[in-house]
Amino acid sequence: DTGVSQDPRHKITKRGQNVTFRCDPISEHNRLYWYRQTLGQGPEFLTYFQNEAQLEKSRLLSDRFSAERPKGSFSTLEIQRTEQGDSAMYLCASSLDALVYNEQFFGPGTRLTVL
């Protein structure tokens, strides 16, 4: 399967713990995105990378959140000192660096539950 993969698919943690999620994009895609989706809402943009450079971050991405894409391939999203409000589906997507349009391919998501 050459699609976007995410690991783990589910994570249950206690409030105050740190968690880290991984995303492996489609191999030839330069751009990688992270979104958060809560129940009954559409995905909300968190951040995006072009190769290894993090080019934009949403105001939703508080200081407790950090994302990296060290070699321009896979990416990690870490949440420190998790809060119950962090419970959501975290989606990763990737795309080619296109000038005309920005079609993104999504992974299955990581569902985080903070107790």
Residues forming the site for other proteins (CB under 8 A): 4, 33, 35, 40-45, 48, 55-56, 91, 93, 99-109
CB 59, min distance to other proteins, A: 13
CB 81, min distance to other proteins, A: 27
| 3 state DSSP class of 1 | coil
CB 48, min distance to other proteins, A: 5
Residue 82 or 95 having the CB closest to other proteins: 95
Residue 45 or 74 having the CB closest to other proteins: 45
Residue 57 neighbours by CB distance under 10 Å: 15
What whole-number distance in Å separates Cα of residue 69 and Cα of residue 49? 7
Residue 18 or 51 having the CB closest to other proteins: 51
What whole-number distance in Å separates Cα of residue 59 and Cα of residue 50? 19
What whole-number distance in Å separates Cα of residue 104 and Cα of residue 49? 13
